[in-house]
Structure 1
Amino acid sequence: MQIIRSIESRIYTIRDERVMLDFDLASLYEVETKVLNQAVKRNSTRFPDDFMFQLTAAEFENIKSQVDAINQGASSPIVIKSHPNLKSQFVTSSWGGTRKLPYAFTEQGVAMLSGVLKSEKAINMNIAIMRAFVDVRKILLKQNNINEQLTEIKERIGEHDIQLNELYDAMENLIDEKIAQLKWNDRQRIGFKIKE
């Protein structure tokens, strides 16, 4: 479970896709980022644009700021430069000072990596990563279900408000009719008065 939680913290949403970055995957597979990317390039036909894409500078900066914000409130910070073999792609800054922008792999792209990286570690890690993606999907589905329930409750409350307003209006009309009736009965009579 610990490894899945660690993996979930490395799943980002970019371009409305849940993705993992090349250096995080390399760290999990215990290979250099350069080795992972070379394996992908040798098998480029397996990685169409909806499986893998290179981040823009703005997207990478956005991810770094998100992680920095999370780390400010976290007891155990997320460390992007988490594996000693990442030296080939990263230089000195806390975020690695990448020479090249990282690649992002969608869930399908990560699954495709299992056919490219065939070590025992890569296979086991791929299974864990797929489980993490499934867990994230379940969480999002639950969140959507809660949002739908809240929307339904709001609609019901709105309907109840309308019904209560109609009830208040009817009660006011009844009260107005009663007051009018009392005024009619208490009025001073005109015309002939008969003494009894």
Structure 2
Amino acid sequence: MNKKGKEVLLPDETVMSKILLIRGKRVMIDKDLADLYCVPTKRLNEQVKRNLKRFPEDFMFQLTVEEKEEVVAKCDHLHALKFSPNMPYAFTEHGAVMLASALNSDRAIAVNIQIVRIFIRMREMILTHKDILLKIEQIEKRVSDHDEQMALVFEYVKQLLSSPQEPRVKIGFTRH
């Protein structure tokens, strides 16, 4: 149980590990979503086909052969897809929301809420990291300017040290 008294379905890390970057979008593969929703992948895809109007291209797309091979190579838990004759579907955050409404089970709704919250947290982390990266770039620019100025100072010091100095005339009171 969490602080609000609701049951935590899955560890956030488990859900996060199933979010992949394909075609520049953060997506989840149909097999992973089916596992999270505790339904067979075949049943999940049947519901998608029955409700195809709910899944435009920016919500869901089917992987190409190359993308499937890459996913199987990178994700050990998706190794079984290697032998599947079907190309898996990839669902964006919005596609996962639509999927929960198509499945319409309590588990699907609860897991979906968790998935959406994780996507939101990931987006916030990316924005935070962008701000940090901008600050680092600004500091690097300032420091690189300082490096050039320090190099110039060291060059002047070297010139002063290497140039022959004439004996200095002593000034002040002398004893007679």
| TM-score of the superposed pair, with normalisation by structure 1 | 0.71
Task: Specify the alignment match of 1:130 in structure 2.
Answer: 116
Q: Secondary structure at the match of 1:12?
A: strand
Instruction: Give 1:1-196 correspondences, 5 Å limit.
Output: 2-68=10-76, 79-80=77-78, 94-95=80-81, 97-172=83-158, 175=160, 179=164, 182=166
Show CA shifts across 1:72-96 (max 9, x none): xxxxxxx33xxxxxxxxxxxx7446
Question: What value does the CA root-mean-square deviation take over the aligned residues?
Answer: 2.6
> What amino acid does structure 2 have at the position aligned with 1:130?
V
Q: What is the alpha-carbon distance in structure 1 between the residues aligned to residue 138 and residue 113 of structure 2? A: 38
- Asked whether the 8 Å contact 1:114–1:123 carries over to 2, the reply is yes
Q: What is the alpha-carbon distance in structure 2 between the residues aligned to residue 6 and residue 177 of structure 1? A: 65
Larger radius of gyration: 1
> Residues 55 and 94 (structure 1 numbering): CA distance in 2 closer, same or farther, change over 3 Å?
closer
Q: After TM superposition, give the deviation of residue 131 of structure 1 in Å.
A: 1.5
Q: Secondary structure at the match of 2:125?
A: helix
Q: Secondary structure at the match of 1:50?
A: coil
Q: What is the alpha-carbon distance in structure 2 between the residues aligned to residue 66 and residue 146 of structure 1? A: 29
Q: After TM superposition, give the deviation of residue 101 of structure 1 in Å.
A: 0.9
Identity across matched positions, percent:
38
> What amino acid does structure 2 have at the position aligned with 1:63?
V
Unmatched segments (≥5 aa) in structure 2:
1-7, 170-176
> Residues 44 and 94 (structure 1 numbering): CA distance in 2 closer, same or farther, change over 3 Å?
closer
Which of the pair has the greater relative contact order for Cα pairs under 8 Å at 6+ separation?
1
> Residues 59 and 24 (structure 1 numbering): CA distance in 2 closer, same or farther, change over 3 Å?
same
Count residues in correspondence.
161
Q: What is the alpha-carbon distance in structure 1 between the residues aligned to residue 70 and residue 99 of structure 2? A: 25
Unmatched segments (≥5 aa) in structure 1:
69-78, 81-92, 187-196
Task: Specify the alignment match of 2:173 in structure 1.
Answer: none
Q: Secondary structure at the match of 2:129?
A: helix
Q: What is the alpha-carbon distance in structure 1 between the residues aligned to residue 62 and residue 25 of structure 2? A: 13
| TM-score of the superposed pair, with normalisation by structure 2 | 0.78
